[in-house]
């Protein structure tokens, strides 16, 4: 374990020590003007450019049955290695949007996600590193995240747009910005169809948005991406699966802003304002696609809608403006119904596999875990910005707690995360260290039951312009 943790810990604490020791140095000016191209004299017409990178240094306690690239066990059994480490690119993005007139906005957002030494490129032979080409991790293809056009109908109150968009329903986290997470990253289940019937949380559709007093709203009619099996190929295993169809989906999110209003020029909700705003919101949302899943047993067959409901409370406020302290809390409840026993296991930047066996983790190898499925998910994140240091930097410790109760699994699970943000220049440049655990499930005669947990350390460097 020690050798896998040493790199992220040395980087993190060396950087912090350097900055703390530099407290008596003059405060440097880190301010800058956003990268904007004016299209008229007063700047009311403009093009704004944003770019960012997020790198991860990870130390992962592997699931039972995990194997390395040569097929050797690395799960801690029989004196094998238990921990593995990696350096990877979580996100690399470029976004440009233009207010070409008071009535028209256009946005384009592209980039890559999740490139590691073995993941990232498209491999024709599947995800098993022992059978895929040697360049599986190299040269991932850039792809569009967002591409939409928007027209103003009634100022402030109604705008209508069309395209590959991120005006999602269900929850605040479902349309969260990746530039200013309060935590290291999203919990993933907030994107309820991630890479199933969406393109990295986006679908083609027509949306309407606006603010009516303190009510912020977004609704959409989408055409989900075709993903799943033909009806005839869905196995008769009493587990609902994505099925091929051409049905539209509806989505929406209503957000009541009790204190300061938030901007809705773009769909990306802020994770924490670090004391610059006083925000208290309550939100409700949904997503529904008819007959998106098919459930089969030896004697029965039925289609089911894919339906998700969400409710959340968001509090973000300064505590002492003079010292720079602030509090941020978000609590979310998800109710998902994608058909009986529907479930998906996901591992972010997961480089390792698990061949099927009774001794292996039911979710798979590496850091895979049950993530999205029919059932209930409760999620809480809370953080506190500590007083600013003399050089203008600050720390923010935080915690997360997640409760999942999926129909497919015999036992519910509880998991937590502990993290520390170091803000060099707010969200524009920060370093985050997080430890999070995840549940382990195994197959028994009593069903799929909980069997302990494993953990992962992640060090992230994050800079955006």
In this prediction, residues 123-148 reach a mean pLDDT of 70
Domain hosting 190: range is: 2-22+30-123+138-464
Between 30 and 423, the more confident residue is: 423
Q: What is the mean pLDDT of residues 243-251?
A: 98
* DSSP bridge partners of 432: 421, 460
- Cβ count near 324 (within 10 Å): 19
Domain membership of residue 130 (yes or no) is no
Is 133 within the bounds of a domain? Answer: no
Whether residue 100 is contained in a domain is answered as yes
Mean pLDDT computed over every residue of the chain = 92
Classify residue 343: in a domain, yes or no: yes
Mean pLDDT over residues 343-372, rounded? 89
- 302-334 pLDDT, tens digit each: 999 999 999 999 999 999 999 999 999 999 999
Question: Would residue 132 count as lying in a domain?
Answer: no
pLDDT in tens, 90-101: 999 999 999 999
CATH (domain of 270): 2.40.160.10
150 lies in a domain?
yes
Provide the 3-class DSSP secondary structure of residue 184.
Answer: coil
User: Which residues fall within 8 angstroms of residue 201, CB to CB, at 6 or more apart?
Assistant: 166, 168, 174, 191, 193, 194
Would you say 218 and 267 are in contact if contact means Cβ atoms under 8 Å apart?
yes
Domain-embedded: residue 18: yes
pLDDT value for 136: 80
- Looking at the 3D structure of the chain, how many domains does it have? 1
Three-state SS for 239?
coil
Does 421 score more than 60 pLDDT? Answer: yes
Is residue 353 within 8 A of residue 190, CB to CB? The reply is no
Q: Which residue has the tokens 């949007």?
A: 97
pLDDT at residue 149 is higher than 50: yes
The pLDDT value given to residue 124? 44
Q: Do the domain assignments include residue 427?
A: yes
**According to the model, what pLDDT value does residue 243 have?**
98
More confident site: 84 or 353: 84
- Which residues 6+ apart lie within 8 Å of 116 measured at CB? 86, 87, 88, 89, 137, 349, 351
Distance CA 165, CA 148 (A): 6
Q: Three-state SS string across 325-378, please?
A: EEEEEEEEEEEEECCCCCEEEECCCCCCECCCCCCCCCCCCCCCEEEEECEEEE
């Amino acid at each position: 374990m020690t050798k896998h943790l040493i790199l992220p810990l040395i980087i993190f604490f060396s950087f912090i020590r350097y900055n703390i020791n530099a407290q008596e140095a003059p405060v440097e000016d880190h301010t800058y003007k956003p990268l904007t191209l004016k299209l008229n004299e007063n700047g009311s017409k403009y093009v704004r450019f944003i770019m960012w990178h997020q790198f991860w240094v990870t130390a992962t306690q592997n699931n039972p049955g995990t194997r390395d690239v040569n097929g050797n066990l690395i799960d801690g059994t029989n004196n094998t290695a238990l921990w593995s480490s990696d350096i990877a690119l979580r996100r690399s993005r470029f976004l440009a949007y233009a207010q070409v007139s008071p009535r028209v906005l256009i946005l384009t957002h592209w980039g890559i996600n999740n490139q590691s030494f073995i993941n990232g490129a498209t491999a024709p032979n599947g995800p098993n590193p022992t059978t895929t080409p040697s360049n599986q991790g190299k040269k991932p293809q850039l792809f569009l995240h967002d591409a939409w056009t928007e027209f103003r109908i009634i100022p402030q109150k109604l705008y209508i747009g069309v395209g590959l968009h991120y005006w999602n329903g269900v929850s605040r986290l479902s349309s969260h910005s990746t530039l200013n997470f309060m935590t290291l990253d999203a919990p993933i289940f907030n994107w309820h169809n991630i890479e199933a019937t969406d393109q990295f949380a986006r679908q083609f559709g027509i949306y309407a948005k606006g603010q009516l007093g303190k009510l912020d709203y977004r609704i959409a009619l989408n055409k989900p991406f075709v993903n799943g099996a033909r009806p005839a190929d869905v196995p008769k295993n009493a587990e609902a699966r994505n099925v091929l169809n051409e049905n539209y989906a509806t989505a929406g999110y209503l957000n009541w802003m009790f204190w300061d209003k938030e901007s809705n020029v773009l769909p990306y909700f802020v994770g924490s304002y670090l004391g610059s705003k006083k925000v208290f919101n309550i939100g409700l949302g949904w997503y529904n696609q008819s007959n998106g899943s098919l459930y089969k047993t030896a004697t029965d067959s039925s289609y089911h809608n894919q339906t998700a409901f969400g409710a959340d409370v968001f509090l973000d406020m300064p505590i002492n403006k003079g010292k720079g302290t602030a509090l941020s809390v978000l609590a979310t409840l998800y109710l998902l119904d994608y058909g009986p026993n529907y479930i998906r296991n996901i591992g972010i930047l997961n480089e390792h596999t698990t061949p099927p066996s009774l001794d292996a983790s039911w979710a798979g190898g590496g850091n895979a875990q049950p993530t999205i499925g029919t059932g209930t998910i409760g999620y809480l994140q809370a953080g506190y910005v500590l007083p600013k240091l003399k050089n203008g930097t600050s720390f923010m410790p935080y915690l997360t707690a997640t409760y999942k109760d999926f129909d497919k699994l015999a036992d519910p699970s509880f998991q937590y995360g502990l993290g520390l943000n170091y803000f060099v220049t707010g969200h524009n440049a920060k370093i985050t260290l997080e430890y999070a655990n995840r549940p382990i499930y195994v197959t028994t005669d009593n069903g799929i039951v909980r069997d302990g947990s494993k953990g992962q350390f992640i060090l992230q460097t994050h800079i955006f312009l």
